[in-house]
């Protein structure tokens, strides 16, 4: 029975690879057809004929492939960007190691990066991550990459975007409306955390769902509060470099789960306006252990739980994006044989905690081998950036950077 299941899983993986290769072939044919037609059109003597044929080129491709002109423009733009800025990733696409959804996510990040050396660094390491993680994980990883590789430009974009903060009310059917707020990420996170905390504090005797409680609390606060300034009172774990924290340099503050980052000055300015309480958490540079204390009991104290949530960021199960502060703390090696310590604890959401307890939770290695979740995690170490490999990939696809 186990062998049959393994064969079925292998077939699923084969289908995914075949689909990605088919998508890549489709995109490559679109590019080849366009380039051949543009060469033919540019050779026409009449400027009117050139203009008419160019105007109809995208329409012809769309009609042949069942796509709108906007979709054709979009796919060609992504293909051109990938072939020019990330040829290694484009080759991975043609090999079936990554699919079109991941290619679009990578291309979107390339569009945000402005320096050629940043394109090189992304192209060198993104395939290893993209081929072994879900699309949601990849998008979060790409957001972190862009912020870290060009922090100065990220700071400029953030300051510019903050100028556009706004609130919009959109009335819809059935007597309801959407209230949309475009806010700095740390403020939105503080609002969300407070709503969750206060909604749960209402207790099990309240018949409303958690979402209904949050909506009612939100409306109550907005219609009764007379405050005109913000106060960051929620417990939000962010990483700030030491030189940034001491105002020796500009930099970003990144939330523990990696879902957002903001200029560190926003966090510091807001925190200093109120009564902020800071935890300084140090990680071992090799083991990444936090709070190297060991506790006799099964359940960890609150400070260790905060440290684990900060370290892990999200549930450590493959593909799960649930924030660690809403997860269980699981002993990698079951207690009491395994100690209650930072090294032996990790964040698992309730569902994956249960699956691990029943020995169903598994890691899938880049080789395709599936192994039970153990006391260590499988990680992919990205290679060092190499211009040689980058230029070789350009030569293979026949594209000049």
Domain locations in the chain? Answer: 2-150, 185-278, 294-372
* 142 CB-near residues (< 8 Å, 6+ apart): 105, 106, 108, 109, 126
Cβ–Cβ contacts within 10 Å for residue 198, how many? 14
For residue 371, the cross-strand partners are 363
Length of the chain: 401
Question: Would you state the pLDDT for residue 41?
Answer: 92
Question: How far, in Å, CA of 1 to CA of 6, rounded?
Answer: 9
Among 90, 100, 72, smallest CA distance to 127 is for: 90
* Token pair 């075949």: residue: 18
Question: Would you state the pLDDT for residue 109?
Answer: 96
Cβ–Cβ contacts within 10 Å for residue 148, how many? 14
Tokens found for residue 142: 């790409």
Distance of CA 288 to the CA centre of its chain: 21
Question: Would you state the pLDDT for residue 164?
Answer: 95
Question: How far, in Å, CA of 145 to CA of 151, rounded?
Answer: 10
Among 382, 395, 392, smallest CA distance to 121 is for: 382
Q: Are 155 and 263 in contact (CB under 8 A)?
A: yes
Largest CA distance in the chain: 86
Q: Which residues of 70-96 are buried (b: 16+ CB within 10 A; e: fewer)?
A: eebeebbebbebbbebbbbbbbbbbeb
Q: Which residues of 212-245 are buried (b: 16+ CB within 10 A; e: fewer)?
A: ebbeebbeeeeeeeeeeeeebebebbbbbeeebb
Question: Would you state the pLDDT for residue 8?
Answer: 64
Radius of gyration of the chain (CA): 25
Tokens found for residue 96: 């079936």
Q: Are 22 and 57 in contact (CB under 8 A)?
A: no
Q: Are 314 and 261 in contact (CB under 8 A)?
A: no
Alpha helices in 113-209 (DSSP H): 116-130, 135-149, 151-162, 185-201
Tokens found for residue 153: 């430009």
Question: How far, in Å, CA of 260 to CA of 238, rounded?
Answer: 10
* 207 CB-near residues (< 8 Å, 6+ apart): none
pLDDT average per 10 residues of sequence, the chain (401 residues): 55 87 94 93 90 90 92 95 94 94 96 94 92 90 92 93 95 96 92 90 90 95 84 71 75 84 83 54 55 56 80 85 88 80 85 84 62 56 65 73 52
Q: Is the peptide bond before 197 cis (omega within 30 degrees of 0)?
A: no
Q: Give the DSSP H or E segment for 152.
A: helix 151-162
Question: Would you state the pLDDT for residue 1?
Answer: 43
């Amino acid at each position: 029975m186990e062998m049959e299941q393994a064969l079925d899983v292998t077939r699923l993986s084969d289908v995914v690879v075949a689909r990605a290769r088919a998508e890549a072939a489709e995109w490559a044919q679109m590019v080849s057809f366009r380039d051949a037609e543009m060469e033919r059109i540019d050779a026409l003597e009449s400027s009117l004929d050139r203009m008419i044929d160019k105007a109809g080129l995208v329409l012809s491709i769309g009609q042949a492939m069942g796509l709108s002109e906007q979709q054709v423009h979009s796919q060609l733009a992504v293909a051109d960007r990938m072939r020019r800025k990330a040829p290694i990733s484009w080759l991975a696409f043609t090999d079936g190691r990554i699919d079109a959804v991941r290619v679009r996510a990578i291309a979107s990040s390339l569009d945000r990066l402005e320096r050629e050396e940043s394109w090189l660094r992304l192209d060198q390491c993104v395939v290893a991550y993209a081929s072994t993680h879900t699309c949601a994980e990849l998008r979060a990883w790409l957001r972190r990459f862009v912020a870290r590789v060009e922090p100065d430009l990220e700071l400029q974009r953030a300051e510019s975007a903050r100028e556009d903060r706004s609130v919009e009310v959109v009335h819809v059917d059935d007597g309801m409306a959407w209230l949309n707020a475009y806010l700095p990420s740390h403020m939105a996170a503080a609002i969300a955390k407070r709503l969750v905390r206060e909604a749960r504090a209402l207790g099990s005797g309240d018949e409303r769902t958690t979402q209904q409680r949050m909506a009612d609390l939100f409306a109550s606060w907005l219609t009764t509060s007379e405050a005109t300034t913000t106060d960051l009172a929620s417990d939000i774990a962010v990483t700030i470099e030491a030189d940034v924290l001491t105002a020796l340099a500009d930099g970003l503050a990144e939330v523990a789960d990696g879902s957002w980052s903001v200029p560190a000055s926003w966090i510091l300015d807001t925190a200093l306006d109120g009564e902020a309480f800071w935890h300084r958490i140090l990680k071992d540079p090799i083991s990444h252990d936090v709070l190297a204390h060991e506790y006799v009991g099964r359940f960890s104290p609150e400070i260790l739980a905060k440290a684990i949530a900060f370290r892990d960021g999200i549930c450590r199960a493959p593909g799960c994006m649930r924030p660690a502060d809403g997860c269980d703390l699981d002993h990698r090696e079951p207690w009491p044989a395994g100690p209650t310590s930072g090294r032996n604890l990790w964040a698992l959401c309730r569902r994956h905690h249960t699956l691990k307890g029943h020995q169903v939770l598994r890691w899938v290695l880049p080789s395709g081998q599936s192994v039970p979740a153990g006391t260590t995690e499988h990680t992919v170490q990205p290679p060092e950036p190499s211009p040689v490999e980058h230029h070789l990939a350009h030569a293979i696809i026949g594209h000049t950077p």
